[in-house]
Amino acid sequence: MFHSNPKPNRNDPETMDPRHALSLILHGCRLAKDLEARLGDLANQPETLSRSCDDIISMFAGAKERLNNARPQDPTLFSHQGSSQQQTDPSLQELLSYGVITQAMDVIQSCRTSISIGGEIQAMDVSDSGRGSSSSSQRSHRRKHDEEKRTMRVPAPQMGNTDLPPEDNYTWRKYGQKEILGSRYPRAYYRCTHQKMYNCPAKKQVQRLDNDFYIFEVTYIGQHTCHMSSTAPSIAPPPLIQDPMVITQPMASQPILPPTTSSAAPLGTWLSMEVSLGSGSGSSSGGRGGGGGVGGDAGAPSAAATGSQYGRDVVEFPAVADMADAMFNSGSSSSNSMDFIFPHREDKWEAGGGVGDKENR
């Protein structure tokens, strides 16, 4: 298992894609986690340990190389040099926004978090979501067949409030939750907090995967028009784009977000993630306390986090290369580095245990 790694291939343009770099980081994290799990068995096998370490290192080294090779002037990659949002690679933005970078941040900034295995981002067609009853996903009188829907899989936060889906820099208000036929976990319905004030049509649905409790399937419907709000996030929203990674359904109207002020934040800013060192709380900030504490709602997020989930310090994406660096450079500083980096996570969620949702009405 340690040696089936996707070795970076410098000559392969595809693997030079920064997205691949993120994939490498994740893979490296997994290898490290795996190594941790087998540390006891391999304690007296220095050669194996060495090889495993090499594998892990090569993963991060490859990632770092890719990140360093990413040319800022390349509009398809990182265009964080004051370029407009339209110049950025949307799929990359989505990746960064919805999971991969979150995991990297979790690992590197805190070094106290275990990595979700299999927490890769997978955008996919809603019509092929694997849910038993996806065929009627666009019903109701408000159903709009021409409305855009983007579905992606997002790993649950690795620290703090893991009930929350990963931060997406918007404020959402939950307006419903429902048991879905054939699904173990309920689906939560959110709309933009600023729906009324700004007539923002954006919605999202969050549901855990049946077979992976630690991965959310998030479906975004509609596009935000509320980015000018004072309480809305200061960074530009994830663009709606056509991307092999993000399959988009036909959309009648795709409002063009005016490239003004905050909405036109350069990618550097857009990619910025606020990191709260030491806070460790991924909890919803804008949220008022989970109201009616009646039934348990552990099956779905009680709130969609807002832009302040990560705290204060802003870390820009290119820093990921350095973060990978930091992981290795700091590893030896701790007598128990692996444990420091990958502490055992308590399975906070007992599968199905927290789902206190009532049967459908």
Q: Which residues bind DNA (CB under 7 A)?
A: 131-133, 135-143, 171-183, 187-189, 191, 193, 203, 205, 221, 284, 286-295, 297, 302-304, 356-358, 360-361
As a whole number of angstroms, the distance between CA 220 and CA 18 comes to 24
Q: What are the tokens at 239?
A: 């663009």
The angle subtended at Cα 279 by Cα 277 and Cα 281, nearest 5°, is: 125
- DSSP label at 279? T
As a whole number of angstroms, the distance between CA 203 and CA 201 comes to 6
What is the residue type of 267? L
Secondary structure element (H or E) that encloses residue 319, with its range: helix 319-331
CA atoms within 13 A on the CB side of 37: 12
Tell me the closest approach of the beta carbon of residue 12 to DNA, in angstroms. Answer: 39
The angle subtended at Cα 292 by Cα 286 and Cα 298, nearest 5°, is: 75
Per DSSP bridges, beta strands 172-178 and 203-208 are: unpaired
Closest residue by Cα to residue 153 from 76, 79, 205: 205
Q: How far is Cα of residue 279 from the mean position of the Cα atoms in its chain? A: 19
Cβ neighbors of 94 (< 8 A, separation 6 or more) are 121, 123, 152, 238, 241, 243, 245, 246
Q: Does the CA dihedral 70-73-76-78 come out positive or negative?
A: positive
Closer of 96 and 298 to DNA (Cβ)? 298
Closest residue by Cα to residue 20 from 53, 73, 66, 74: 66
CA distances from 108 to 60, 78, 325, 337 (A): 12, 21, 10, 13
